[in-house]
Structure 1
């Protein structure tokens, strides 16, 4: 029969029933996902609420750099805690089953060490026994985070109310060119014990049965999804940048849920699309394309009024976010002077000559030869580009719209194009969408229309997959998520 002291030693100073639910017991019992360990820690009150589940483990006189390196790796794997490896003085010797550990001779702290040391050793064993946690962002995710300036939340995902990662529903990215098998394998590689359900039926709104018990969705946020989801749903990652369809939240969902999106991920692709439309308009390519479709050699098109070359002209970016910044970067490289507005501050990159607040839009419009609408659709931006705005522009300016169609009053845009106030327009978004076949915009020689596809092609699909996988890894591990959206503001 085991002695009481040996039982206490084996169970880390806890009763063995409590030990099985402790972090060490969770690890040794195989429940070593980020969620499992953090929940076990909460049960033993080992977390510090002010530090948001950060556990300080002081290791005794670690005998080799290899062990210290393993502990640091564990720290990276379970990022809802912070593991700090300190070298403490040599002290008393205490024996645990199959382990001989040297700990400080500190009677007052002995109970703490009895629970901490087995936890420390068990966590170290994770690396040797095949962890179910991803080791951190892969190289591609790290590169994107740095290059695109992706921001992580100020608080860890483990702070989401009732955070318990269990079931994740994932919409396919096949429409973006990513194979379902490839995507599913990447997600499951970082999900640990969390169930990943691939929603392959094609319905925009999954059934209630499919959504039952789902605490996270990677896909398209919409009112139907939010209505059918049960009380388990805590996180939605939206494949789109725009959040205007993420409506109909209940009061409980507003308080408990976190939303992320694809902001900045499609920005390089949309920026190239925008510049392509701009160059096509300045070189009158729409008119030549129409002549080509009719097999007509029309050199007379070249004698129509010219916009001129881009160097030295001013481009105004309305909405200096991720998309606006990438457009500004390319316009500056073409020799243009760039000014911009943003809602949050006057700060901007060096290649933007001036950044004004949103209430300076009309003042800056008077300087602009080209205007790019890169704004999200909110109550404040709906109908913003109207007759008054077009009247404030330089006569003969070009208008590009890659934000949302609802921010432009379409009838006022048609009038400005027809009376020569605008030289031309490049529209990837319209209001309504799709644009009716009899709409006058289709028949204008100085207009380019693409069917809301600026974000497609290029490398945007791969970026979408990489960050969706990275955000799932962070969610399971309890780390801060990337691209968190203020759902009230809509961006």
Structure 2
């Protein structure tokens, strides 16, 4: 469902069954119809305070995924509307994003753009790429996605460093010590960056993390190291990344998210031969979409029946 994938229902007194109406609504139409619905499922769109104010029957706004940057949570709270995300650890989103992180990491190491050029030129045996084997990798943000990234990295014969605000969390897997060689907090990110050949950002975007991969951080990375971002584009300071690509301090950049979306194909950063980008599809797989769809359907049924909600995480 796109934004405006909105649902309403009626209870048939004879059958005691739920009939639902699910509509896909273009963004420009949402303000005119949102008052008719009880659930709004947001996908790659914004729900601002003006739209929320018109949602007079709305009970729940859900993100079709993990991030909630597109929803004005304060406005929803003011209008007594619950806002929920679907945890990536339960839907396959974290697994899908982790696989994309590996894909992008291998892509920059093996010089994907240069390989495409070589094929077009009918060249063989070039370019000379690099291996994951033997590398030290820093995972910034060891949440659901970071955990799955670490699991998939271990068989490559790498050393894994990771930062997390709270390592005593009950959500950490019991085998975390087998996945991570060195653990630290946000205060350790610069030291860890100096030890790593590759940095993979898996952080949530908030006021504290906007632009956290800035000139100070990039300067602390080894010359010739690689940066991969499958979280949110604005975690990276655009000008700092551009400058470090120009100087050659960064050997490569792999991103599934950008500073402005939709992506500008004429963006200067995309012109570098050592930069590869995918169109915000890390979590877009048949597996993750199927499981997220089930969570949405279950939520609608639970709201209708008054049963406790399962499979979603409320933020207000």
TMscore range, shorter length:
0.7 to 0.9
Deviation at 1:442, TM superposition (A): 2.1
Deviation at 1:207, TM superposition (A): 3.8
Alignment of 1:481 onto 2:304: no
Give the whole-Å Cα distance in 2 for the aligned partners of 1:234 and 1:197: 15
1:61-100 alignment, distance < 5 Å: none
Task: Choose the corresponding residue for 2:70, options 245, 265, 276.
Answer: 245
Number of the residue aligned with 2:83: 259
Number of the residue aligned with 2:55: 229
Alignment of 1:330 onto 2:152: yes
Deviation at 1:229, TM superposition (A): 0.8
Number of the residue aligned with 2:21: 197
**Cα distance change on mapping 1:269 and 1:204 into 2, 3 Å:** farther
Q: Point out 4+ residue stretches in structure 1 off by more than 4 angstroms.
A: 192-195
3-state DSSP class of the match of 2:99? helix
Q: Deviations over 1:233-259 (max 9, x none)?
A: 332221032111112633x72483322
Gaps of 5+ in 1: 1-168, 173-182
Alignment of 1:171 onto 2:171: no
Structure 1 contact 170–196 (Cα < 8 Å) conserved: no
Structure 2 contact 200–229 (Cα < 8 Å) conserved: yes
Number of the residue aligned with 2:123: 297
Q: Deviations over 1:281-332 (max 9, x none)?
A: 2222221112323x34154532xxx54x323322111121111111111111
Give the whole-Å Cα distance in 1 for the aligned partners of 2:301 and 2:119: 51
Deviation at 1:193, TM superposition (A): 5.2
1:403-422 alignment, distance < 5 Å: 403-422=231-250
**Cα distance change on mapping 1:248 and 1:300 into 2, 3 Å:** closer
Number of the residue aligned with 2:39: 216
Task: Choose the corresponding residue for 1:311, options 133, 151, 154.
Answer: 133
**Cα distance change on mapping 1:421 and 1:483 into 2, 3 Å:** farther
Give the whole-Å Cα distance in 2 for the aligned partners of 1:456 and 1:258: 25
Deviation at 1:404, TM superposition (A): 0.7
The TM-score normalised by the length of structure 1 is 0.55
Q: Which has the higher strand share?
A: 2
**Cα distance change on mapping 1:378 and 1:469 into 2, 3 Å:** same
Task: Choose the corresponding residue for 1:285, options 97, 112, 115.
Answer: 112
1:343-358 alignment, distance < 5 Å: 343-347=165-169, 348=172, 349-350=176-177, 351-358=179-186
Give the whole-Å Cα distance in 2 for the aligned partners of 1:247 and 1:277: 31
Gaps of 5+ in 2: none
Tell which structure's C-alpha radius of gyration is larger. Answer: 1
Structure 2 contact 4–25 (Cα < 8 Å) conserved: no
RMSD across aligned positions (CA): 2.9
The TM-score normalised by the length of structure 2 is 0.82
1:16-27 alignment, distance < 5 Å: none
Give the whole-Å Cα distance in 1 for the aligned partners of 2:32 and 2:167: 42
3-state DSSP class of the match of 2:114? helix
Q: Deviations over 1:50-81 (max 9, x none)?
A: xxxxxxxxxxxxxxxxxxxxxxxxxxxxxxxx
Number of the residue aligned with 1:437: 265
Structure 1 contact 260–483 (Cα < 8 Å) conserved: yes
Give the whole-Å Cα distance in 2 for the aligned partners of 1:397 and 1:482: 38
Structure 2 contact 200–227 (Cα < 8 Å) conserved: yes
Give the whole-Å Cα distance in 1 for the aligned partners of 2:168 and 2:155: 22
Give the whole-Å Cα distance in 2 for the aligned partners of 1:360 and 1:329: 22
Number of the residue aligned with 1:178: none
3-state DSSP class of the match of 2:313? coil
Number of the residue aligned with 1:270: 97
Alignment of 1:206 onto 2:30: yes
